[in-house]
Amino acid sequence: MDFSIPPELVEIRRRIAEFMEEFVYPNEGRVVEDEGLDPALERELQEEVKARGLWAANVPREWGGMGLGFVGQGLVNEIIGRSTIAPRIFGSAAPDAGNVELLHLSATNAQKEKYLKPLAAGLVRSCFAMTEPEVSGADPTGLRTRAVREGDEWVINGHKWFTSGALGAEFAIVMAVTSPDAPPHKRASMILVPAATRGFEIVRNVPVMGSGSVGGHCEVRFEDCRVPFENLLGEEGKGFELAQARLGPGRIQHCMRWLGAAQRSFEMMCRYALKRESFGEPLARKQTVQSWIADSAAEINAARLMTLHAAWKMDRGEDARVEISLIKFYGARVLHDVVDRAIQVHGALGYSKDTPLESFYRDARAARIYDGPDEVHRMVVARRILREFEE
């Protein structure tokens, strides 16, 4: 086992950390909740990132990105995750990053030119419409949105919500049932739907507990929404398979960004504990605070190694489904617990908006739900382990 980071990735991480100090942290106070940075400022920062060759770690080089493997993407996103505004600045924000991977994996040449090219360059935004209010988001085999072929068109009817990024998106990737009589995992397909299409209606931006994101988390209706048949993404009936291919890499990025937020919170906790005095001595001398610091260090290190191990297996082309599920529920808990301890050490200051901790805390709660709730990932892990014992 070699735990060293390749020299080229060490250099990339150094340059990203330098950019964060110079441009990202100083602009955190300019964020508008649920809207992000001013678009002109964000575009300016994105162009500076591109000029420095640090744009989009997961995007192939031929499409303007860094083309890093999964380990590289993880190591980069650990630094980017230290600020809630950084993913968009570096071209790695959800849902666009995952949609780029989907398009690169399964789009036709014409679809790549029309959808992938501007999305990979950060010139447009996109959204991913899968979750529905009437059925469990943890079980996409129960989706009710239908896409029926009529001649050379798909006619889509259905109801979606928590379609992140829908406000201002150029297009949506929609998961819809195209073969209702097929086996559960073969019923759905993915279809590209331009946002300007008649019948694509954003009902509202669903208010959420977290810090929000550019484009919101929207409720969307499809009412006789017609798109060309060639807007089918990949093969018919492969929607579930594509969704799994999209979510695996996305969870590597999510989990490493969580570690970035946890690490920054940990550093803030340690610094504040050393300078803040209570009852005649620094908080750092309190045994409870020392326990929080020790536990946080252990948990962050464990989550980092678990995540990079999953990424390493994916880079080798190995099955990493168990490892992905492990890091999803374990990493979400580590993020929550470390931020919670940091807030407790900061006291009322941690509860205020004078630090990023309260924003991290609200976002941490959502981490246990999106991309599959923790309970489902625990079930997946347990079932696969038990199956091995049965065999």
pLDDT of residue 139: 80
Given 182, 202, 237, the domain boundary residue is 237
Element (H, E) at 199: none
pLDDT of residue 310: 96
* Range(s) of the domain holding residue 183: 126-237
First to last CA, the chain: 29
Rounded to the nearest 5 percent, the helix, strand and coil shares of the chain are 55, 15, 30
CATH number at residue 188: 2.40.110.10
Residues 266 and 333 grouped into a single domain: yes
Q: How many domains does the chain have?
A: 3
Residues 231 and 250 grouped into a single domain: no
Distance, in Å, from the CA atom of 75 to the CA atom of 311, rounded to the nearest integer, reads: 10
Residues 77 and 202 grouped into a single domain: no
Among 301, 152, 178, residue whose Cα is nearest residue 238: 178
Given 216, 237, 258, the domain boundary residue is 237
Residues 313 and 203 grouped into a single domain: no
The residues pairing with 156 across neighbouring beta strands, listed in sequence order, are 147, 225
Whether 193 contacts 227, CB under 8 Å: yes
**Six-digit token pair at 176?**
């819809």
Q: Which residues of the chain have pLDDT under 50?
A: none
Residues 248 and 386 grouped into a single domain: yes
Q: Which residues of 68-107 are buried (b: 16+ CB within 10 A; e: fewer)?
A: bbbbbbbbbbbbbbbbbbbbbbbbbbbbbbbbbbbbbebb
Distance, in Å, from the CA atom of 287 to the CA atom of 30, rounded to the nearest integer, reads: 38
Among 276, 288, 328, 336, residue whose Cα is nearest residue 306: 328
pLDDT of residue 212: 65
pTM of the model: 0.93
pLDDT of residue 371: 86
Given 86, 120, 154, the domain boundary residue is 120
pLDDT of residue 1: 85
pLDDT of residue 140: 78
Q: Is residue 301 part of a domain?
A: yes
CATH number at residue 259: 1.20.140.10
Q: Is residue 229 part of a domain?
A: yes
Q: Is residue 46 part of a domain?
A: yes
Residues 231 and 252 grouped into a single domain: no
